[in-house]
Amino acid sequence: MTDDEFRSGFVSIVGRPNVGKSTLVNQLVGRKVSIVSSRPQTTRTQVRGVRTTERSQIVLLDTPGIHKPRTPLGERTNTRALSTLDEVDVICFLVDASEPIGRGDRFVAELVGQARTPTVLVVNKVDVASRDQTLEHLAVASGELGDIAAFVPCSARTGDGIDALVGEIEARLPPGPRYYPDGVVSDQPEGVLAAELLREKLLAQTHDELPHSIAVTADDVEERETRSGPLLAIRLVVRVERESQRGIVIGRGASRLRQAGTDAREELEALLGTRVHLDTHVRVDRDWQRRPAALDRLGF
């Protein structure tokens, strides 16, 4: 294989919850394709982000945070996160440089170690960690986290170390085609992106009031021609588990839902380059996280 051969392949981003996986995907792609929140387990589906340059195309799978599950939803998100590890070309295993390597990281390392895929350990959040913390992580990782092909300290938030990470990934990709045309950064449908953006905005507003109790789906997506030009109309349904949670999501005088919808719409318009109308509704779907039939219906 020569240096000028075009390389392409699939990369799974894994780690325990809240280590910065979605932020890393967005940084690698160069724009937002996955929602970001301070809440653990924000990502519930595999999001494909695509980074294309003259040298390579990297297709990124932003997986849910791997954790010891307490609900059927947790079991399914774990299964989804682990299902591709033997099928991708590279695994990027993230740990948080600002926190000690703990049982959660070792749990993920044990599962990753069962795959036969080259693994790059990414020590993330070096922008908020000391140099000694970062060096300690690298030392622990090299001795305790299994067969690691490369170690890269970086900050997904600032972009520091990202070029080195891309180099390590590219070195392990096979020669291959462009799986996606130039300019494509994600294969998420507009409705899925709208639903995820609305959930991100609601999580940011509700803080600890609704831990993991919100599911947002797009029930209808329609392209319309109006006097002012094309309009993408999307009907979004927010599902909560209790009637009391419905009031929290809506807010006084519907202020919370209205503001979250406005913020999501404005960001979606900037991403898609077209006018968007979001029709938002809140529905009580009791204990949806624990009912397999509800998870099937919601696509988990």
CATH number at residue 239: 3.30.300.20
- At 1 the pLDDT is 45
- Residue 60: which pLDDT band, with cuts at 50, 70 and 90? very high
Give the whole-angstrom CA distance, residue 86 versus residue 110: 14
Is position 1 within any domain? no
Q: Which tokens in the block code for residue 149? A: 């092909």
- Residue 72: which pLDDT band, with cuts at 50, 70 and 90? low
Is position 237 within any domain? yes
Q: Are residues 54 and 130 in the same domain?
A: yes
Is position 30 within any domain? yes
- Residue 124: which pLDDT band, with cuts at 50, 70 and 90? very high
Is position 247 within any domain? yes
Q: Are residues 165 and 203 in the same domain?
A: no
- What confidence tens digit (pLDDT) does each residue in 226-272 have? 888 889 899 999 988 888 888 888 888 889 999 999 999 998 888 78
The whole-chain average pLDDT of the chain stands at: 83
Q: Are residues 22 and 108 in the same domain?
A: yes
Q: Are residues 104 and 250 in the same domain?
A: no
Is position 257 within any domain? yes
Q: With contact defined as beta carbons under 8 Å apart, do 289 and 72 qualify? A: yes
Q: Are residues 152 and 211 in the same domain?
A: no
Helix 21-29 vs helix 162-171: angle between axes, to the nearest 10 degrees? 80
Mean pLDDT of 81-110: 86
Give the whole-angstrom CA distance, residue 106 versus residue 93: 11
Q: Are residues 136 and 194 in the same domain?
A: no
Residue with tokens 């529905």: 283
Which among 116, 142, 171 is the end of a domain?
Answer: 171
User: DSSP string covering 282-297, please?
Assistant: EEE-TTGGG-HHHHHH
CATH assignment at residue 119: 3.40.50.300
Q: Are residues 220 and 158 in the same domain?
A: no
Q: What sign does the CA torsion over 291, 292, 293, 294 have? A: positive
Number of domains present in the structure of the chain: 2
Q: Are residues 213 and 161 in the same domain?
A: no
Q: Are residues 213 and 151 in the same domain?
A: no
Is position 157 within any domain? yes
pLDDT at 180 over 80: yes
Q: Are residues 119 and 57 in the same domain?
A: yes
Is position 185 within any domain? no
User: DSSP string covering the chain, please?
Assistant: --TTS-EEEEEEEE-STTSSHHHHHHHHHTS--S---SSTT---S-EEEEEE-SSEEEEEEEPPPP---SSHHHHHHHHHHHTTTTTSSEEEEEEETTS---HHHHHHHHHHTTS-S-EEEEEE-TTSS-HHHHHHHHHHHHHHS---SEEEE--TTT-TTHHHHHHHHHHTPPB---SS-TT--B---HHHHHHHHHHHHHHHHHTTSSTT--EEEEEEEEEEEETTEEEEEEEEEEEESSHHHHHHHH-GGGHHHHHHHHHHHHHHHHHHTSEEEEEEEEEE-TTGGG-HHHHHHHT-
pLDDT at 207 over 80: no
Q: Are strands 215-226 and 229-240 parallel, antiparallel or unpaired?
A: antiparallel
- Residue 40: which pLDDT band, with cuts at 50, 70 and 90? very low
Which among 141, 171, 201 is the end of a domain?
Answer: 171
pLDDT at 136 over 80: yes
Q: Supply the range of the domain harboring residue 261.
A: 190-298
pTM greater than 0.75 (yes/no): no
Give the whole-angstrom CA distance, residue 192 versus residue 140: 39
Q: Give strand pairing partners of 95.
A: 123
